[in-house]
Structure 1
Amino acid sequence: MGGNPPGDVRQNSLDRLFRTDRRHEPTQQTRRDQDARCPRNRFLAGCSGSAPSSSGSGDGDQATSTPTSTPESTASGGDEQPASGATETAATSSGGTPAAVEEWLADASNYDGVVDETGSSSVTVAVGTSGNGGNFAFDPPAVRISTGTTVTWEWTGKGSMHNVAHDGGEFESEMVDTEGHTFSHEFTSAGVYKYFCTPHKSMGMKGAIVVE
């Protein structure tokens, strides 16, 4: 019979099988690429080719949290107190009269509300009129005026020596008992101005000017 002997046939079959297996072997370059993508310490656990997810407790870089700053409080810790002689018109009684006036004139026997003189350029207040157990009162004791108005106090000559003294020290007259004597003051700022007669303050000889 012609053809290759049986031994040659088996050898040729083995050679073809060996060449086929070699085609499926990874080349040296392919192995290096795989090693680069999958380090040895993770290769045993399986490598999918994607980078592992980062955990918060590993040896890698730790995430840094930036604290949110809290704005400092700028509150002063209490209400501002008005300066001496300043207004107290924010708090009013049910009738619209400043509470400061009601409190200040609570012991003035002739006080019966605030006289409205707004719009007048000048107002006169009598000093030493009947009230508080004698001639120890201002009349009217409380007046409402506009800014820029001049108030003139005129002495009656009764009730001994009197003066006009602002509770905050903004103005003060001399002490006199002369009938017809006058003292004037122009009010240029809005507010409540409380005043009194120095020797008779404890008797209730007090007054108030409400400037609007």
Structure 2
Amino acid sequence: MTGGTRRAFLRVAGVALAGAVAGCQGDSGPTTVRMTDDLSFDPERVTVDAGATVEWVNESDVGHTVTASADAIPASADFFASGGFDTERAARNDMQGGLVAAGERYSHTFERSGTYEYYCIPHEGSGMVGSVRVR
């Protein structure tokens, strides 16, 4: 193989290898849900594959929580809440401990298929609710 032919071969092989590796890595990152000043999750509903991570980003000037509705998640699924609480009652009892401050993030990885309903404790009455459907 001449120098020019070899370089061309290596360039093509490198592109093919990079494409194969990228295909193995799957999704480029978490699905993002914004927490907004108008007291909403945007988007309100997302759909992800099992094993995917959803990241909530507080773009508001006030604190928000991300709290699973314990009776509205799959029976075999893990409860989730900002602040790391194990139960919905614990999250409600220490709402301050679960607040995601302005500019901060909270993420959760969804392992089981089903629909997960969640809400912001201080703004639930204002309609700050959302859902994640896991395929």
- Alignment TM-score > 0.5, same fold: yes
Quote the offset at 1:122 in angstroms: 1.9
Quote the offset at 1:161 in angstroms: 2.1
Contact 2:30 2:53 in 1 (8 A): yes
Quote the offset at 1:190 in angstroms: 0.1
Pick from 154, 157, 166 the counterpart of residue 68 of structure 2.
166
CA distance in structure 2 between the aligned counterparts of 1:192 and 1:204, rounded to whole angstroms = 18
Aligned residues: 87
Greater CA drift, 162-171 or 199-208 = 162-171
More helix by share: 2
CA RMSD of aligned residues (A): 1.7
Contact 2:100 2:106 in 1 (8 A): no
Unaligned runs of 5+ in 2: 1-25, 71-77, 83-97
| SS of the residue 2:100 aligns to | coil
Unaligned runs of 5+ in 1: 1-118
| SS of the residue 1:147 aligns to | coil
Contact 2:34 2:59 in 1 (8 A): yes
TM-score (norm 2): 0.59
Match of 1:94 in 2: none
Q: Percent identity?
A: 34
1:171 partner amino acid: F
Structure (1 or 2) with the larger CA radius of gyration: 1
Quote the offset at 1:177 in angstroms: 3.0
CA distance in structure 1 between the aligned counterparts of 2:116 and 2:130, rounded to whole angstroms = 9
Quote the offset at 1:194 in angstroms: 0.3
Asked if 1:122 corresponds to 2:46, the answer is no
1:117-167 deviation line (CA, Å, top 9, x unaligned): xx745201111x25xxxx200000000110010001111133x22110001
CA distance in structure 2 between the aligned counterparts of 1:161 and 1:187, rounded to whole angstroms = 23
Match of 2:22 in 1: none
Asked if 1:204 corresponds to 2:127, the answer is yes
Quote the offset at 1:189 in angstroms: 0.4
1:195 partner amino acid: Y
CA distance in structure 2 between the aligned counterparts of 1:147 and 1:176, rounded to whole angstroms = 25
1:192 partner amino acid: T
1:24-59 deviation line (CA, Å, top 9, x unaligned): xxxxxxxxxxxxxxxxxxxxxxxxxxxxxxxxxxxx
More strand by share: 2
2:80 partner amino acid: F
